[in-house]
Amino acid sequence: MSFINKLEAAWDKADSLLCVGLDPNWSKIPEHLKEESEPIFEFCKAIIDATHDLVCAYKPQIAYFAALEAESQLQKVMNYLNETYPHIPIILDSKRGDIGSTAAMYAKEAFERFGADAVTVNPYMGQDSAEPFLSYADKGVVLLCRTSNAGAQDIQDLEVDGTPVYELVAKMISEQWNTNNNCCIVVGATWPQQMQRLREITGDMPFLVPGVGAQGGDVKALVEAGQTQNGRGLMINSSRAVLYADSGTGYAMAARGVALETRDLINQYRR
């Protein structure tokens, strides 16, 4: 099953547009877990088990694992998801982008080593840097377009012949790069007006939407701006708000509570 087909099935099965980001921050992980032999894996596993029926995807952020020298625990998280919840898409958030030969190794890392269904990619080196990822026809390539950070406007809003760069990037991805129908774009929750314009440009292409929860994105505005005609089209990511809802032994159930609340809030504004 392709990433896009898997995502569509997950939207239906969980009745959810919620994606939970797995960003294990050592300073915020419950103290009782730190005595475990694999505390990062145990933390993520408990979050997954508590929320698996509420999400359309999980998004492990590789930097949080690598900074702790915990790539082996990331591999265990990926294996656990693929074996226990194979119907849930996994987006490896690594934001890769390099020349073709190096990009090919990054694609192999994401898809063959870690077993991800999709990977985030920086498109600003052009199509040849994205092609090694795009060539995995059954895998998803989630390309940065209009990001959620305040400094996004420094480059992404620059105009070329009167058109913002982020619109040109979206148009290029939609019309030239998406030959395998495996492209998605990253559109920050903090920019609903831009999101609406990007939906017009890209049609039904899925959007990965960071910026909900800790970053303050307006759920109503983003859902109304970004959803497709059938009430889908979005993977609305929440990481910190879900993961760190509680710092004690009840952290997993607290995470479930926030995930359930967020999913239901999103669904209020779906078509």
Query: Active-site residue numbers?
Result: 95
Are residues 236 and 213 in contact, defined by beta-carbon separation less than 8 angstroms? no
DSSP letter for each residue of 17-73 = -EEEEE---GGGS-GGGGGSSSHHHHHHHHHHHHHGGG-SEEEEBHHHHHTTT-HHH
Are residues 145 and 173 in contact, defined by beta-carbon separation less than 8 angstroms? yes
List CB contacts of 153: < 8 A, sequence separation 6 or more.
Answer: none
The tokens for 39 are 């505390």
Cα separations in angstroms, 23 against 80, 87, 157: 16, 21, 28
Helix (H) or strand (E) holding 75: helix 71-84
DSSP letter for each residue of 97-129 = ---HHHHHHHHHIIIIIS--SEEEE--TT-HHH
Check residue 246 and report its DSSP letter: -
Alpha-carbon span 51 to 20, nearest angstrom: 9
